[in-house]
A and B are shown apart, each in its own frame.
Chain A
């Protein structure tokens, strides 16, 4: 298919418009319950941003990383302190700055990736996870010396417009997601993305073709951390609101975000959306089924165990049968229904 505008095909633009109409016209008019906004749509969109970052570093660049929650923590507390300590700090400005701060950390913790890969790199990124959360938790300054150990994040106001209700916060987060997704698609489809994928497929070969490993890998780590930082800030400001660093940004959040990237589809943008939706919604559905069909006869332990077994089993199954995840499965199903002549 020929690109119509820059790197976009006609289908891309149609998809894009459909999603925009869905996100900004249909959902705000159809969904009235606050529960949907505050407990499902907002965390989904926030974690999608983090999953996008994880996908860039893991799916596009092929660097195993397990530190997403650490960078999210950095982003959240950077934003908190910027808002707290600088007078008249606009929220969006603070958000971008906190993403940049997280990106700086991402570069530092991405440095080992120049020499190592695979599980070695994963262990190195685990350091970022444990270290960043520890620093934020132990140095009272970050939490503004709150004696309770938890932090209550400020309410969001942009140009005097309050973004306090679930509905308004949803619109804000959705708009940010749109901007980030467009940027991510542009990077992934441009020379940046091609360099990432070259490094993923064979770094030594890529290097001999003139791709600078240093720049490419650190760029991927920086963008990953930038997105995780923004995701962390949005996640705390619009969803958690009150946070205790060790409890909110633990290793299992990092695992979850990694699973979103894997299950959704490594090396795809839409995979981040699908993966985040699946990981987030599956427990909700499972709980609902447990409560409504079996009327609480299944206790919570069993439900959370089933969740773990399904996630783990799904990862194994996907690794064996479809390493490109749900996004690829979706493509396959779509192409089955498409008239033969149109399949590209």
Chain B
């Protein structure tokens, strides 16, 4: 009896921890949506691009910290180019047009990353162990690795940081104003271009961090993009414009898909994880389209 309860908690915790990984990807998405009301389909590709470049730099023998800074600058450059070449020409276009352009952007980034660094799976070692911490395993009977804890802590740190940024700084206020009404915001002197640049660079850095966590767990490889696609249901469940929503959505998706996989998966030869998040998101869309924490969508003629 206790055995099975313990096992359930093990599965649950495992799911929650892997869910923080989805949250990290989703965060970058929310960041851009909150500041520019743009759905950035390329966020997954940015994760892949960032971490692949980071690993590539390290392979040249560049030390960890320097490679990190270099990748941050690279992502800022990507943000700048995106703003200049993709978003500015599409400024007053419909949501769907911009969305399709970001799908194109995703393909460009994937292609560039692969052209430069190749397709083989790479290992990324952050010096953080991905094995159960003995103390927790002995005392609580839960298998949690240092990497899990780090990912959780990083996710938590980012929410706090981003929430503070959006709520209490002048930049954050500007970001929210631009998302609400770009025209009105620019007419009162908020520099649209700088705001966009800032947001896309920040999203690039968030993508790098998310990619590093993913890479340390699953290796740096193309499959990351399909994993990153799962950030979309996470966003729908949490609400596109909510930072806490990205976290809660990620945890929920992680936990539910693991529980389904472990308890129901064996009856169907597994693989439920591949579609479960999307099905959950459909349920949410039918009953609560704005997500758990999102703002209600009101459309006018």
Residues of A that sit less than 8 Å from B by CB: 62, 64, 111-112, 115-116, 118-120, 122-124, 126-127, 130-131, 134, 137-139, 202, 204-205, 208, 251, 255, 258, 262, 301-302, 304-316, 319-320, 323
Listed by A's residue number, 25 A-B pairs whose Cβ atoms lie within 8 Å are A112-B282, A118-B96, A119-B99, A122-B232, A123-B236, A126-B232, A127-B279, A130-B275, A131-B279, A134-B271, A134-B274, A138-B270, A204-B299, A251-B229, A258-B103, A305-B111, A308-B111, A309-B108, A309-B112, A310-B111, A315-B100, A315-B101, A315-B104, A316-B85, A316-B104
Pick the residue among A112, A258, A312, A316 that contacts B111 (CB under 8 A): A312
Find the A residue at minimum CB distance from B271. Answer: A134
* Closest 4 pairs (CB-CB, A-B): A312-B107, A315-B104, A308-B111, A127-B278
Pick the residue among A111, A126, A309, A319 that contacts B93 (CB under 8 A): A319
Docked pose: A307 CA to B111 CA in angstroms: 8
A115 & B286 in contact (Cβ 8 Å cutoff): yes
Known contacts A64-B99, A131-B275, A312-B104: A305-B114 contact under CB 8 Å: yes
Find the B residue at minimum CB distance from A139. Answer: B268
Residues of B that sit less than 8 Å from A by CB: 39, 41, 85-86, 89-90, 93, 95-101, 103-112, 114-115, 118-119, 226, 229, 232-233, 236, 268-272, 274-275, 278-279, 281-282, 285-286, 289, 299-301
Find the B residue at minimum CB distance from A203. Answer: B299
B39 & A320 in contact (Cβ 8 Å cutoff): no
Pick the residue among B89, B97, B100, B278 that contacts A124 (CB under 8 A): B278
Cβ–Cβ < 8 Å partners of B108 in chain A: 308-309, 312-313, 316
Main SS at interface, chain B: helix
Main SS at interface, chain A: helix
Find the A residue at minimum CB distance from B97. Answer: A319
B279 & A309 in contact (Cβ 8 Å cutoff): no
**Smallest beta-carbon distance A207→chain B, Å:** 9
Which among A202, A205, A320 has the highest number of chain B CB atoms within 10 Å? A320
B278 & A316 in contact (Cβ 8 Å cutoff): no
A119 & B97 in contact (Cβ 8 Å cutoff): no
A311 & B93 in contact (Cβ 8 Å cutoff): no
Docked pose: A309 CA to B85 CA in angstroms: 15
Cβ–Cβ < 8 Å partners of B110 in chain A: 308, 312
Cβ–Cβ < 8 Å partners of A204 in chain B: 299-301
Known contacts A312-B104, A315-B104: A120-B275 contact under CB 8 Å: no
A311 & B115 in contact (Cβ 8 Å cutoff): no
Known contacts A124-B278, A134-B271, A208-B301: A309-B86 contact under CB 8 Å: no
A205 & B104 in contact (Cβ 8 Å cutoff): no
**Smallest beta-carbon distance B28→chain A, Å:** 15
A115 & B101 in contact (Cβ 8 Å cutoff): no
Cβ–Cβ < 8 Å partners of B300 in chain A: 204
Known contacts A115-B289, A116-B289: A202-B107 contact under CB 8 Å: no
Cβ–Cβ < 8 Å partners of A301 in chain B: 114-115, 118-119
B90 & A127 in contact (Cβ 8 Å cutoff): no
**Smallest beta-carbon distance B283→chain A, Å:** 10
Docked pose: A327 CA to B236 CA in angstroms: 35
